[in-house]
Amino acid sequence: MFRGGSVVTSWVEKLVDVTGYIRDAGSLRASLEIVTKDSGFDGFAYYFSHQNRDITISNYHQEWQSRYIERRLVRSDPVVRRAKLLRRAFSWDAEEDRSLWNRDERLLFKEAAEFDIRSGITVPVKTANGGTSLFTLVSKRPRSAENRIVDEVAAAASVGQLHATIACIDMQPSNEESVRLDPKAAIYLRWIAHGLSWSRVASIEGTTYDSVRSSLVSAKKKLDCATTTQLVATAIRRHLI
């Protein structure tokens, strides 16, 4: 099927259908896996980047996900780099497009191939406050003819809808490690979440302002947050308070 001179791939339509009615995390993840397989791909990855925070939801091999997180490969991932540069949907192939990659990127692709990541389609969309979301479908096979052309508008709309759905259902990312706050920091944050100032929290808890400040500074570093407001929001989202 053609629309506007480009191929409208079945995965776009399926993604729109899935994100239109699903409202819980478990069902969405399972449905994304079904869309992936039914569309002839072997894996999917949703990536969201905002400020200093990166979130990934994926069904890639667990060993590859662990390596990706531990070595922070998102910062050198050529597909992510190209997506942020092009700002539109595109297909890619590790071998066929090797002239686009530098030496380190080719080595990364070689390593990814061990986990059936050889080609794919990536769709980037801009989100609120300078954020970026990417949705990628990968294959263990070379890029196929039907996946060389992507309806950029339809693909971006479907991924934008996916981003909104994930934000609404508070889906647990694949790449967020289990983190526990110091008990004192958790108590202080609960008070701050109710609108109390640091000095007021110190008074209620019978401690000093500096003690509250020290605990919250450590918590910010642990959760990679720049402000107290961001820290509270992150702690609530990750069910730490």
- Torsion angle in degrees (nearest 10) through CA of 94, 100, 103, 109: -20
∠232-234-236 over CA atoms, to 5°?
A: 70
Same domain assignment for residues 145 and 193: no
Domain of residue 101, residue span: 2-169
pLDDT at position 1 is 35
Written as six digits, the tokens of 124 are 């980037």
pLDDT at position 147 is 64
pLDDT at position 123 is 96
Does residue 176 lie in a domain region?
A: no
Same domain assignment for residues 198 and 147: no
pLDDT at position 4 is 38
Does residue 174 lie in a domain region?
A: no
pLDDT at position 22 is 80
Same domain assignment for residues 24 and 102: yes
Same domain assignment for residues 40 and 62: yes
* DSSP letters for 27-49: HHHHHHHHHHHHTT-SEEEEEEE
Same domain assignment for residues 69 and 21: yes
How many domains, in total, are found in the chain? 2
Own/partner contacts of 216-225, CB < 8 Å, gap of 24 or more, are 216/185, 216/188, 216/189, 216/192, 218/182, 218/185, 219/181, 219/182, 219/185, 219/189, 222/179, 222/181, 223/179, 224/52, 224/53
The whole-angstrom separation of Cα 29 and Cα 105 is 29
pTM above 0.75, yes or no: no
Instruction: Give tens-digit pLDDT for 72-96.
Output: 888 899 999 999 899 999 999 999 9
3-state secondary structure of 143: coil
Instruction: Give tens-digit pLDDT for 97-120.
Output: 999 999 999 999 999 999 999 999
pLDDT at position 223 is 80
pLDDT at position 167 is 80
Same domain assignment for residues 120 and 164: yes
Identify the segments of the chain with pLDDT beneath 70.
1-9, 51-53, 145-149, 170-179
Same domain assignment for residues 40 and 118: yes
